Structure 1
């Protein structure tokens, strides 16, 4: 029987062991799972006394962002990923979230099928990578900053990536963005490492954006999915 609980420090080694070679290039989970566990937002699915899957849920205001779902290779195709996703959706409801979001790489057909089956709907594309140039422009304060973000979020249907965690993309308010960064007007409005237009920022850091333009090295496009809870 499949059961679920928060991940513990003693689970980290087992999680790292089955996530090291998810793709040809490896996986980012071994680098971050220790922090996720310490922060209390990692969960595991257990089967026959072992860890069958791992994932994380991060709360941002009234939004829950789901990330990092990985199923142990020898247990794939048994519905464990779907069960884990449904558990996290229920966990988000219990935590008081009103919406859940997640990103799926454009090329990842099985994951698109899974999240659609659970009830997620595709909302927009998110692009990420290393930008070609720096920042620049004029930074905003006070009411002007709030109004610029409110207008930009109106165009993005309320979705953005976090200024300080650009791969966490979810439904946010202007206040939640302002608590994490200061918006500036360059080629387009950007805040921290996220841009509502073309990519902007430090060429040595990952950034995300709503436009595929402005990248020196652009990774695979991602689809942002959401579900009202």
Structure 2
């Protein structure tokens, strides 16, 4: 019987064991699962006494962001990923969310198929990688900062990535962004490690943006999917 629960610290070694080699280059899950568990955003699917899948969900106001879904290799193809996604959507609704989002890399055909089956719709493209390092411009505060962020969100239909966790991209309010970073404007508005235009920031860390420009090393484009709850 398949059931779901919040992940615990004791689950971390087992999760790491089946997420170390997801792709040829490995996976980022082993690096972050301990933090996700501590932040109570990680969940597991359990089948026959062992962890069959892991995923995480972060609630931000009325939005939920789903991330890191991984199914144990020998159990793939049995609908576990779909069942876990639907469980997380139910958890999001119970937590007060009215919309849920997630990112899927452009090359990940199985994940595109799964989220579309569940009912997610493509909303926009998100680009990420290491920027050229061309930060600068004028930083904003007060009413000017709020108005600039509100205008930028209006153009992006309310979607953006977090300034301090740029791979978390969902429907956000100006206050969601302003509580986590200071907006600055150069050719376009950027806030922390996320830009509404071309990539900005420290060339040694990942950033995300709404256009593919400004990168010295750009990763695969990601599709931002959303579903109303």
Question: Normalising by structure 2, what TM-score?
Answer: 0.99
| 5+ long unaligned stretches in structure 1 | none
1:121-150: CA deviation from partner (whole Å, max 9, x where unpaired): 000000000001231000011111111111
1:45-97: CA deviation from partner (whole Å, max 9, x where unpaired): 00000000000000111100000000000000000000000000000000010
**Deviation of residue 187 (structure 1)?**
2.0
Q: Does 1:157 align with 2:178?
A: no
Task: Quote the RMSD (CA, aligned, Å).
Answer: 0.5
Aligned twin of 2:2:
2
Q: Out of 65-74 and 127-136, give the one that drifted further.
A: 127-136
Write the distance in 1 (CA, Å) between the matches of 2:133 and 2:14: 40
Q: Does 1:139 align with 2:139?
A: yes
Write the distance in 1 (CA, Å) between the matches of 2:169 and 2:24: 25
**Deviation of residue 34 (structure 1)?**
0.5
Aligned twin of 2:96:
96
Aligned twin of 2:67:
67
Write the distance in 1 (CA, Å) between the matches of 2:148 and 2:104: 28
Runs of 4 or more above 6 Å deviation? none
Listed as ranges, the matches of 1:1-150 within 5 Å are 1-150=1-150
Aligned twin of 2:215:
215
Indicate the SS of the match to 1:177: helix
Question: Normalising by structure 1, what TM-score?
Answer: 0.99
**Deviation of residue 172 (structure 1)?**
0.3
| 5+ long unaligned stretches in structure 2 | none
Indicate the SS of the match to 1:97: coil
Q: How many residues align?
A: 229
Indicate the SS of the match to 2:204: coil
